[in-house]
Each structure stands twice: as structure tokens, then as C-alpha cells.
Amino acid sequence: MPIPPAGTTPPLPPAPGTPSPPPGPPTPPIPLAELLAIKDLGLRRIAGPAEAELLWVHTSEMADPYPYLLGGELLLSAGVLLTDPDHYVGRLVEAGAAALGFGVRPVHETVPGALTEACDRQGLPLLEVPPETPFTAIARAVWRLMAEARHRELRRVTRAQQALATAAARPDPVPAVLHQLAAQLGGRAVLLTARGEEVHAAGRPLPPETAVALSCLTRVVARERPGSPASATDTHGGTHLSAYALGGGEGLVLALAAGQRESGDHTVAGIAVVLLSLLAAPHQGADAAGRSAALVRMLLGADPAAVAPLLGAAGPWRVVHARRTDGTPADALTAGALGASLGTALVDAGRGGPEAVRLLLPGTGAQGEAVRPLPEAGGITPQPGWTLGVSAPTPVTALDAADALAARALTHAQATRAPLAVDAPVRGLAALVPPEQAAAHARALLAPLTEPLADTLRCWLSLHGNWDRTAVALGIHRNTVRQRVGRCGKLLNADLDDMDVRAELWFALRRG
């Protein structure tokens, strides 16, 4: 019976209800060529194919060792009871032996020719073991090669774990983890829904037939099916396929395709599954049932102030608008990761288009440690890869106004290339004017302006009359900014170069 080397960990038992797989090797398999390359052993392949992988070493002088083989062995024998080479080799091949090592002397002076012919005919590698090489030396060499392979595997898995963890800390963690996973496995990594719809992908594109096979494998582990396994594997045209269900990912599946599968690939994929499950899972800062109840009550006409406690806090609240710094759209998973960083599950991803991601933060928001938070931002810190606009604290009954203020703050942050801007609460002399009177004055003063003109004037004034920054913030040409601001001056019959006029207009635009 083959015995694994000391210090190895046996494989975990299969889950209840699943068929038991054949016993796996304690360490990565060893190519036969590596054993033959050890000159001190003096081994020589004299028959059979050159390629084979060794999982065990076993010595037996039985006429039929079939009942005691697991498969993948290098069987060592001196041929004490060898009478029918063809039947003997056939039984070894049937048992799945990887190779036969035949020791010459004292039983046989040379390897029997009939044995050589049988190994060639049935495709079993045959090694000649010289008299001066004990079988124990061969076994020791195989175990040493296995220990070295195990060490290489552990180092590779460790490096992959570090690379995946680094990718998970990036502003776009889900695509970054998939890209790193595809690089580590030398293939393609795809995040799919339970119905086979692609969410993110990285690595080399697959041929259409292989992509279909991978999609079919995805449905095997989809959580929508009762009793679905957590993982599944297959091959298609020489490509190794695997699929893993993500825990807490709302039916998401990680699908992998690689040209060759190494022993550590399953471990690397397992690390990625854990990271992606955490990244894809909804943030648990507020109870999901409470959020659903709040939504239902508001749709049925309840007072927002009455349902706010179900969302995790009664107030005050802040609205945050966010856009990717590089201008790329934000999908739901990336937006969810931003929400988790800011400490909220109340996220509107904007359907992955150019719209800003909107977040609702109860209380003062999350406190960051790496970057000192702005005091007026309620502890919210800049987020790498994002530009943020934050509203002032507001009661739940005035969130629509806070949404507009957050949008203005985001526009200001983009124009000034700042990672975060805050629409600060009213202070100073402006706070002395009652809000109702201020709003009435603003409506009367700004009545001649259309909404696009008012927005342009507001942005231009907030940037101290800088034409270029206003154009960048609004996404229009600087000449268009000049034309709109000039039109505002004519409609208002005001000199916009006058600081008093600017101050009054700014006051009105802030209250309008």
C-alpha cells in the first residue's frame, strides 16, 4: 500500500451526498523526467512513453499487485514472480500505475525482452534500475522531489494571495481581482450571473464553443437551483473549466478557463472566491429587512421622518455624489464597494452609465484612518479613484434639496480637481436671513434665468469666474460658458464684474 510522506495533510472528505472522488495525491505530481534526471540513481527508460506523472512509490513482488494499487504509482519490482509479462503489464495499466521500475539482479540479469515489448505495446513507461541502486533510494528521491514541488506550490499560492489581496484594495476591486486571477492562472476569469450574463471578465477571450461550455457549467452551480454544488469542473477542447458559486453574492458565479491546470490553481481560485464574495455581498450596516420595510412604507405614503429609523438612523443625513476619477462608468459592484468603504448600503449605482453614483449616509458617515477626514464632511474621507461631492447634514424630510447640493459639490470638486468637496451649511450673515424670505428673494431675482443659465452662473461664480474650470465642470466649451454668462448679465440687467452684484447673486443662487 503506498504511504504518503510524513507531514502532509490528507484531503478533506467530500460533502455529504456527493460521490467520493478517487484518492488524491498528498503533494503535486512529479514528472517522470525529473526522476530520470537524477544521475546518481542511474535510472534508464527502456520502453513506453517518456511522459508520466508520479503520485506515489510502491514496491511489490506479487504476481498481481492490482488490488493494492491506488493509481499513479511508480511500481518497483525485481520480477520474483514474473511469469506472464503481458498479463502483468495489463493488470498494472488497468490499475492506473504510472510507471514500472524493474531491478536487475539477482533475479534477472537483464530486463526480460517480453516485459519490454509488453510495456511498449500497452503504453507503460519501463525503467531499468541498476543493481547498485536500492529501491529505498528511489523512494527517497521521489519524496524529496514532492517536497520541493510542494514548497514551490506554497510559494506560488502565497504570492497569488498577496497579489489578489492588493487587487481587492484598489478603487475598482472586482475587475482588479478578476484581472489578477486571470494573470495568475494564465487563462480567463469571468464573473457571471446565475443566468449566465457576464458582469466582468478578464484575460484571454475564449472561442465561442468554449464560452458556451463555460456558461453551461455556470448554471450547474447557480444558487437559483436547489441543491446546487458549490463548485464544478469540466474540460472542453483541451481547456480546463471550473465554476464557483459566490457566497452572499446574490447568485453570482466565478467561472475560470485555463489551458493547463496546476495543483495550486484550486487554492488560488478559492482565495479569489472568498474575496469576491466579500466584495459582492451587500453591506450589512443596516438590516436588509428594515430597508425593505422602509421602502414599502414610503411607497404607501408614510412620512419619511417616520420610516427613517428603519434605515439605521433618524438623522441627520448626508447625500454623496461620486464619479470615477478616470471617467469610466461605475457598475453596481464597484459602487457597492464604495458604499462599504463609506459605511452605507444605501447606494444608487446609476445603472452603470455616466450618471453619478449616489449614496445616502446616516449620521456623520464612516471615519477613515488612512486619510484625515474633512471636519465639514462629517468624517467622510477622500476615496482613491473617486471624486466625491457631499451635502451638508440635513433632515430626512429635505433629502431632495440635499441631493441637489451634493450634485453641485461634485461639480465643484471635478472643476477644481479635488478628490472631495462639501456643500457647507449656511453660516455667518447669510444664516441671519430666514429661509423663507431668502427663498422668496432668490425666486424674484433669478426669475429671468432658465435652469441651464442659472446652473452655469452658479458654477461660474463658485469657481471665482474661471472660464476654463467652469467649462470642465459643466462639460461644455469655454465659449459657451462666456455666452451663457453674458446672457445672464443681460437678462438680469447686472454688471457681473461688480463684487456686490456677484455676492447677491451667489446668495440667491444658493437659496434658489
Answer whether residue 46 shows pLDDT above 70. yes
pLDDT band at 87 (very low <50, low <70, confident <90, very high): very high
DSSP type of residue 394: B
Residue 95 has pLDDT above 80, yes or no: yes
Q: Which of 264, 280, 296 represents a domain boundary (last residue)?
A: 280
pLDDT at 285 over 50: no
Q: How many angstroms separate the CA atoms of 198 and 89, rounded?
A: 49
Q: Clarify whether residues 304 and 364 are in a common domain.
A: yes
Cα separation values, 328 from 168, 237, 322, 385, 510, Å:
18, 36, 12, 10, 30
Q: Number of folded domains in the chain? A: 4
Q: What is the pLDDT of residue 448?
A: 84
CATH of the domain at 41: 3.40.1390.20
Which residue would you say has higher pLDDT here, 418 or 195?
418
- Answer yes or no: do 417 and 438 share one domain: no
Is 159 part of a structural domain of the chain?
A: no
Q: Domain check: are 263 and 386 in the same one? A: no
Residue in 51, 50, 52, 102 with CA at minimum distance from that of residue 75? 102
Where is pLDDT greater, at 400 or 166?
166
Q: How far is 466 from 481, CA to CA, in rounded Å? A: 10
Cα Rg of the chain, angstroms? 35
Q: What is the pLDDT of residues 463-501, one digit of tens each?
A: 888 888 888 888 889 899 899 888 888 888 888 888 888
Percent helix / strand / coil, the chain, rounded to 5:
45, 15, 40
Lowest-pLDDT choice from 13-17, 259-263, 450-454: 13-17
Pairing mode of beta strands 386-390, 253-258? unpaired
Q: How many helices (H) and strands (E) does the chain have?
A: 16, 17
120 shares its domain with 134: yes
List, for residues 201-221, the tens digit of each pLDDT value: 899 888 888 888 888 888 888
Average pLDDT, the chain: 80
Position with higher pLDDT, 293 vs 273: 273
Regarding whether 292 and 418 lie in a shared domain, the answer is yes
In a domain, 457, yes or no: yes
Residue identified by cell 519490482 is: 77
Tally of residues, the chain: 512
d(CA 194, CA 201): 15
- Give the model's confidence band at 17: pLDDT under 50 very low, under 70 low, under 90 confident, else very high: very low
Top mean-pLDDT range of 121-125, 227-231, 307-311, 356-360: 121-125
The range of the structural domain enclosing residue 209 comes to 169-280
Phi-psi region of 248 (alpha: psi -120 to 50; beta: other; left: phi over 0): left
Question: Does 435 lie in the same domain as 421?
Answer: no
Residues 333 and 366 in one domain: yes
Q: Are residues 118 and 193 in the same domain?
A: no
| The domain boundary residue, chosen from 425, 457, 483 | 425
Q: What is the CATH number of the domain that holds 477?
A: 1.10.10.2840
For the chain, the straight-line distance linking the first and the last C-alpha, in angstroms and rounded, comes to 86
Q: Is the dihedral of CA 162, 168, 169, 175 positive or negative?
A: positive
396 touches 304 (CB < 8 A): yes
Residues 251 and 299 in one domain: no
Query: Does residue 4 lie within any of the structural domains?
Result: no
pLDDT band (50, 70, 90) for residue 503: confident
